[in-house]
């Protein structure tokens, strides 16, 4: 089932148009990847989907309802939750407190303890460090905390912007292991990533963004050898 459908999105900053007619759909119980080089517009698209950046043109639907003009908090209330690039956890609050703050909606609050137990089961490192200040966690642990906090909001659509950025390969691997589990739990996961190969491997469907437009799309595995994808990543994929 289509959870999120974007049609012809245009958006940017001031006079600079970054997204130029982007159309994507994300299904429930599927991982949808947005891949592309630095500056392609991945984070801009994520901000638009979360409602943090307005569109100048285009339409966004959630489960068939128009949410194009809904502010971020109203989207969170409907289950659209962004885990932003750069993590943005509260450094002085404990792991536990950071997680609790993720339960922002009445529904999420009602099932808070249950969700907390699930998050701790998914990330044992966080459970061990529940009293530790968020700012003293390692980069990888902070990413787990940011992801855990996003899950505390009980999302239906989870937007992950570069969840492995700056992480050691072993930790990045952990994140790539967890994303399919979230899909299997029935979430619509939209992931923006630069790690092309690993992302395409876990993606059910992927869109290649280049200069703010979708230049290619298809099943994750089919895109691995797509010439457009190679071009969009020229000199950047590396491994």
Ligand X SMILES: Nc1ncnc2c1ncn2[C@@H]1O[C@H](COP(=O)(O)OP(=O)(O)OP(=O)(O)O)[C@@H](O)[C@H]1O
Q: Which residues bind Mg ion (CB under 5 A)?
A: 42-43, 85
Rounded least distance, CB 22 to ligand X, Å? 11
- The whole-angstrom separation of Cα 122 and Cα 148 is 9
Residue 226 binds which entry of ligand X, Mg ion, none, CB below 5-8 Å type-dependent: none
CB nearer to Mg ion: pick between 111 and 236: 236
Q: How far is the CB of 45 from ligand X (least distance, A)?
A: 7
Helix (H) or strand (E) holding 23: strand 16-27
Report how far residue 163's alpha carbon sits from residue 217's, in angstroms, rounded to the nearest whole number.
21
Quick one: tokens of 170?
A: 């072993």
> Which ranges of the chain does DSSP label H, i.e. alpha helix?
42-50, 72-77, 95-100, 106-110, 112-122, 124-128, 139-152, 169-184, 196-202, 220-223, 227-232
Longest dimension (CA), the chain: 49
Contact partner, 225, from Mg ion, ligand X, none, Cβ < 5-8 Å per class: none
**Applying CB under 6 A, which residues contact ligand X?**
13, 16, 18, 36, 38-44, 85, 162, 194
Helix axes 169-184, 139-152, angle to 10 degrees: 10
Q: In angstroms, give the least distance from the CB of 129 to ligand X.
A: 28
> With left for phi above 0 and alpha for psi between -120 and 50, is residue 155 left, alpha or beta?
beta
Residue 148 binds which one of Mg ion, ligand X, none, with CB within 5 to 8 A depending on kind? none
The option from Mg ion, ligand X, none interacting with 40 (CB < 5 to 8 A, set by class) reads: ligand X
CB of 161 to Mg ion, least distance (A): 6
Closer of 42 and 129 to ligand X (Cβ): 42
Q: Which is nearer to Mg ion, 79 or 163 (CB)?
A: 163
Q: Which does 41 bind (CB under 5 to 8 A by kind): ligand X, Mg ion, none?
A: ligand X
Distance CA 22, CA 209 (A): 9
Residue closer to Mg ion (CB basis): 34 or 116: 34
Looking at beta carbons only, is 29 or 84 nearer to Mg ion? Answer: 84
């Amino acid at each position: 089932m289509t959870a999120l459908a974007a049609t012809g999105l245009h958006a940017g900053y001031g006079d600079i148009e970054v997204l130029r007619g982007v159309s994507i759909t994300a299904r429930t119980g599927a991982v949808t990847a947005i891949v592309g080089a630095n500056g392609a517009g991945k984070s801009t698209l994520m901000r638009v989907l979360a409602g943090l950046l307005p569109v100048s043109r285009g339409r966004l639907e959630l489960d068939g309802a128009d949410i194009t003009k809904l502010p971020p908090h109203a989207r969170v209330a409907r289950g659209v939750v962004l885990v932003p690039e750069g993590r943005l956890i509260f450094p002085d609050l404990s792991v536990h407190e950071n997680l609790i703050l993720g339960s922002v909606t009445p529904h999420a609050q009602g099932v808070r303890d249950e969700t907390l137990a699930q998050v701790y089961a998914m990330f044992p490192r966080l459970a061990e460090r529940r009293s530790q200040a968020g700012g003293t966690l390692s980069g990888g642990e902070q990413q787990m905390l940011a992801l855990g906090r996003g899950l505390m909001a009980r999302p239906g659509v989870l937007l992950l912007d570069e969840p492995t950025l700056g992480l050691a390969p072993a930790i990045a691997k952990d994140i790539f292991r967890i994303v399919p589990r979230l899909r299997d739990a029935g979430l619509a996961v939209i992931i923006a990533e630069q790690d092309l190969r690993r992302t395409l491997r876990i993606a059910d469907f992927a869109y290649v963004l280049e200069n703010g437009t979708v230049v290619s799309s298809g099943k994750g595995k089919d895109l691995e050898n797509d010439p457009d994808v190679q071009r969009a990543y020229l000199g950047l994929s590396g491994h």
